[in-house]
Amino acid sequence: MANHKALPGRVPGWRNILNRFAASIGTKIILPYLLLTLAVAGVGAYIVTNLVTSSLQERFNNQLLDAGRVVSEGMVRYEQDRLKVLRAVVGTEGVPEALAAGDREALVRLVPQIIANSNTDAVELLDINGVEVYGWQRPPGQRGGVAEERSGADFSQLEDVRLVLNGFVDEFGEKRALLSQTPYGPMIFTVGPVHRESQQVGAVMVGTYVREMVIDLAGSAVAKVTLYDRDGNVIDTTLGGGREGVVETLQESPGQYDTVIELLQEPANRYQVVVSRAEDEVLLRQVEILGQQYVLAYGDWRLRGQSFGLFSVALPSNFIVSTAATSRNLFSLIFSLATIAVIVVGFAIAQRIIRPLNRLVETSVAVAAGDLEQRTGIQRNDEIGSLASSFDVMTEKLSERNRQLVEQASKLEAILNSIADGVIVLDAEGQVITSNPAAEQVLADMSSDFPSAPLRELPPGLFTDTDEKSKLDQAMTLSTLQHPRRYRVGSRVLSALAAPVITPDGEELGTVVVLRDITREVESERLKDEFITSISHELRTPLTAIKGYSDLLMMTADGSLDERRLEFVRTISDNTNQLLRHINELIDISQIHAGTLGLEKDRLRFSELVGEVVETWREQMETKGLALRVRSSGGSLWVNGDRDRLTWAIDNLLSNAYNYTLAGGRVEVRVFKENGEARVDVADTGVGIAAADQPYLFRRFFRAHNELTFSVRGVGLGLFITRSIVELHGGRVWAESELGIGSTFSIALPLLADS
């Protein structure tokens, strides 16, 4: 029973030891180090072994490459020898005549002398019908011996013979190559035509035994050579010494021919069997012949642009496997011993690193808890000593920086609280980070007004929640405001301006929003507008009477007034007209601000409207010495607009060009269609507008100053009215100007769908 009670007490002890061992930094250093060492050792042994094997394989592939090149060049050499003999026979004097006459005796005298010193195995001279006139063939293996002579055989059933006899010529010439079965085995023939006085009289066939060619090529290449037909059947081979079963092992499927042809796309002037990367680009096969492993590399057996099947070169590969196994065992032993040594050294180094690291951990935990007075006290000259020293310096600077931040935060808070405008800082999620008392007061005033007077003139979709607190939170999402915007809550009017908070690195941290209560400013502006509207109406009544009586006085003068008094009346009328124009502009501006400017829109031909306005200015501009030109792109430019208002807008642009262009200048009006809009440009060669004045051109009561046009009168409302009218029509207006060069004012209005 005592033993049974002891076991439960021991398990937790061993478990605690294991947990401490697993959590120890020493274990975390040594264990990965051990695993990494084992992995590196295993990978190193594998890589080195593979490098040795790869090196052997590369040399082996190079041998295949050399063997294939020798075989390929040997086939070409045999073909050249046959062509040489063929040319000699055809070019010998008397042969064409004898063949044309069917004189076999003459051919018997001539042909053996021509081929006596060549490696040719057979020669066939055929008449124009493909019938053998004279045939010469030596038995296999008896070069220099007695050859057989014959005649009368019919070769016209051979397709290549028929092509030559019919004068067929392709990109390789008029000669052909063919594989034919003879009583002594398969032969390769080269066939060419025989001509006498530019007339074909027959053909010559020069042949070589396949067996003797294969044996010769195998000796030259120091490799085993095998020839296949297009169906994958073995024609001849030097593998196995002709023993039974070898041919069946080497047989290939008919599809093998198509595969090799697809892999080896060689130009017609070069027949190479193996390329530089044989294992990737040439079809390889391993076979076992008589207990010996061979690797075969296939190629396309091609003569004169014609494929006869496949050929392969074979080399034994047993030495690669045995060498690789020996290398693998040796390198595995070396890397195992090196791994043990590395583990022992690594354990000692890890223990030296762990001790000061524990002190660093204790100090960092204390600093993280807020005790910035803690220091490691480690004095060493290695990297750990540098780390400990840097950590102590960092802690000291952190302590100093913390004191500075507290002081700076106190200063910023004092500055923020002293600002009269409301300042709110939002984070990237739109949540309020901080705000000053002025902002809190503004928000409190807004909240008290929300139940009876909701916020107006906010961007669309800002308020969807009925809860006033939610409305207030959403109202603070103003990060899209780049210019001051006004908002009304009951009797209060607020101005809000938002700007992103961006770090020097370009990272956006949030948004700062400035709120101002501008109720008094807005009320003052409203009173000013009402005063202008009221006084304008009051002034227009007496001016209308003055205008009427001055016009009546001019119409009823009938000579009762001399020219001087009549000129006075005209001056009164002209100035009255100008004053009425200014008063009407003020009244229209008040209507624009109040949103009560009415438009009577109708379908208008825009180019025609512009032309009418231009014609009203032609005489006046010519009188001033200005050249007025109108250019229209043609076509119907239909818009939906108020004729009178648009006439006024265009008239203001022409008036502007007239007033600010000196005598001798030009004014050009261009009307055209662009990007689905009807556009008019009024370009002049006037005094131009300074770059500093251009942003304010379309503001009311603004006039650009220029000494050359100082005498031009006006109140600065024409361009403002033009912009307001164009924008009420859904269009846009802009200006481009260069001081001393001229200006171009442009209007663009949306076209109707059928324009």
Give the rounded percent of residues in the chain with a pLDDT score beyond 70: 71
pLDDT of residue 243: 62
pLDDT of residue 274: 40
At residue 321, the 3 state secondary structure works out as: helix
Contact (CB, 8 A) for 165 and 203: yes
- Looking at residues 643-659, what average pLDDT do you find? 88
- Looking at residues 667-682, what average pLDDT do you find? 91
- Domain 419-517 is in which class? alpha beta
pLDDT of residue 377: 78
At residue 628, the 3 state secondary structure works out as: strand
Q: How confident is the model at residue 539 (pLDDT cuts 50, 70, 90)?
A: low
Q: How confident is the model at residue 251 (pLDDT cuts 50, 70, 90)?
A: low
- Looking at residues 286-306, what average pLDDT do you find? 77
pLDDT of residue 675: 87
Going by their DSSP bridges, the two strands 292-303 and 224-228 should be labelled as unpaired
pLDDT of residue 536: 61
Give the phi and the psi of residue 186 in degrees, each rounded to 5.
Answer: -70, 145
In terms of pLDDT, which residue wins out, 137 or 706?
Answer: 137
- For the ranges 132-136, 438-442, 629-633, which has the lowest average pLDDT? 438-442
Give yes or no for residue 527 having a pLDDT over 90.
no
Question: Which class for 474: exposed (0-12), middle (13-18), buried (19 or more C-beta within 10 A)?
Answer: middle
Spatial neighbors of 383 by CB under 8 A, at least 6 apart, are: none
Q: How confident is the model at residue 480 (pLDDT cuts 50, 70, 90)?
A: very low
Determine the Cα–Cα distance for residues 85 and 539; give it in Å rounded to an integer: 125
Spatial neighbors of 735 by CB under 8 A, at least 6 apart, are: 689, 694, 697, 698, 743, 744, 745, 746
Give yes or no for residue 238 having a pLDDT over 80.
yes
> Amino acid letter at 40?
V
- Looking at residues 177-182, what average pLDDT do you find? 88
Determine the Cα–Cα distance for residues 693 and 707; give it in Å rounded to an integer: 14
What DSSP string describes 139-153? PTT-TTSPPEEE---
Determine the Cα–Cα distance for residues 517 and 572; give it in Å rounded to an integer: 48
User: Could you report how far apart the first and last alpha carbons of the chain are, in Å?
Assistant: 107
Which 8-state DSSP code applies to residue 195?
A: E
Place of tokens 């040795």: 52
Q: How confident is the model at residue 684 (pLDDT cuts 50, 70, 90)?
A: very high
- For the ranges 196-205, 487-496, 671-680, which has the lowest average pLDDT? 487-496
In terms of pLDDT, which residue wins out, 687 or 428?
Answer: 687
In terms of pLDDT, which residue wins out, 493 or 227?
Answer: 227
Spatial neighbors of 718 by CB under 8 A, at least 6 apart, are: 585, 652, 655, 656
- Looking at residues 345-369, what average pLDDT do you find? 77
Determine the Cα–Cα distance for residues 668 and 628; give it in Å rounded to an integer: 6
Domain 598-750 in CATH 3.30.565.10? yes
- List 362's β-bridge partners, or say none: none
Q: What are the start-end ranges of the H helices in 598-748?
A: 606-624, 643-659, 718-728
The sign one gets for the Cα dihedral 540, 542, 547, 548 is positive
pLDDT of residue 62: 79
- List 358's β-bridge partners, or say none: none
pLDDT of residue 188: 92
Give yes or no for residue 9 having a pLDDT over 50.
no
Which 8-state DSSP code applies to residue 313?
A: E
Q: How confident is the model at residue 525 (pLDDT cuts 50, 70, 90)?
A: low
Place of tokens 């593979």: 50
What DSSP string describes 414-468? HHHHH-SSEEEEEETTS-EEEE-HHHHHHHHHHHHHTTTS--BSPPTT----S-H
- For the ranges 109-113, 569-573, 684-688, which has the lowest average pLDDT? 569-573
Determine the Cα–Cα distance for residues 244 and 375; give it in Å rounded to an integer: 90
Question: Which class for 469: exposed (0-12), middle (13-18), buried (19 or more C-beta within 10 A)?
Answer: exposed
Determine the Cα–Cα distance for residues 734 and 748; give it in Å rounded to an integer: 9
Going by their DSSP bridges, the two strands 199-209 and 224-228 should be labelled as unpaired
Which 8-state DSSP code applies to residue 154?
A: B
If one counts every other C-beta atom within 10 angstroms of the C-beta of residue 422, the result is 21
pLDDT of residue 625: 92
Determine the Cα–Cα distance for residues 563 and 363; give it in Å rounded to an integer: 107
- Looking at residues 238-259, what average pLDDT do you find? 66
Contact (CB, 8 A) for 583 and 543: yes
In terms of pLDDT, which residue wins out, 35 or 199?
Answer: 199
pLDDT of residue 469: 38
Highest mean predicted confidence (pLDDT) among 65-74, 246-255, 365-374: 65-74
In terms of pLDDT, which residue wins out, 550 or 741?
Answer: 741
CA dist 443 → 161, 421, 455, 471 (Å): 107, 12, 12, 11
Give yes or no for residue 325 having a pLDDT over 70.
no
Determine the Cα–Cα distance for residues 289 and 47; give it in Å rounded to an integer: 31
Give yes or no for residue 257 having a pLDDT over 70.
no
- For the ranges 188-202, 208-222, 325-339, 688-702, which has the lowest average pLDDT? 325-339
Report yes or no on whether pTM surpasses 0.85.
no
Determine the Cα–Cα distance for residues 69 and 274; give it in Å rounded to an integer: 7
- Looking at residues 656-676, what average pLDDT do you find? 90
CA dist 669 → 69, 510, 610, 624, 653 (Å): 82, 48, 9, 17, 10
In terms of pLDDT, which residue wins out, 703 or 480?
Answer: 703
pLDDT of residue 669: 93
Give yes or no for residue 487 having a pLDDT over 60.
yes
CATH topology of domain 92-212: Beta-Lactamase (3.30.450)
Which 8-state DSSP code applies to residue 170?
A: B
pLDDT of residue 566: 73
**Quick one: how many helices (H) and strands (E) in the chain?**
18, 23
Q: How confident is the model at residue 402 (pLDDT cuts 50, 70, 90)?
A: confident
Spatial neighbors of 547 by CB under 8 A, at least 6 apart, are: 573, 576, 577, 580
pLDDT of residue 231: 79
Determine the Cα–Cα distance for residues 724 and 729; give it in Å rounded to an integer: 9
Spatial CA neighbour of 687 closest among 737, 639, 645: 737
Per-residue tokens: 36: 């990494």
Question: Which class for 216: exposed (0-12), middle (13-18), buried (19 or more C-beta within 10 A)?
Answer: middle
Determine the Cα–Cα distance for residues 544 and 567; give it in Å rounded to an integer: 20
If one counts every other C-beta atom within 10 angstroms of the C-beta of residue 466, the result is 7
Give yes or no for residue 746 having a pLDDT over 90.
yes
What DSSP string describes 505-561? TS-EEEEEEEEEE-HHHHHHHHHHHHHHHHHHHHHHHHHHHHHHHHHHHHHT-TTSS
pLDDT of residue 26: 60
Contact (CB, 8 A) for 669 and 630: yes
Q: pLDDT digits over 554-581, tens only?
A: 777 666 777 777 777 777 776 777 677 6
pLDDT of residue 320: 61
Contact (CB, 8 A) for 202 and 209: no
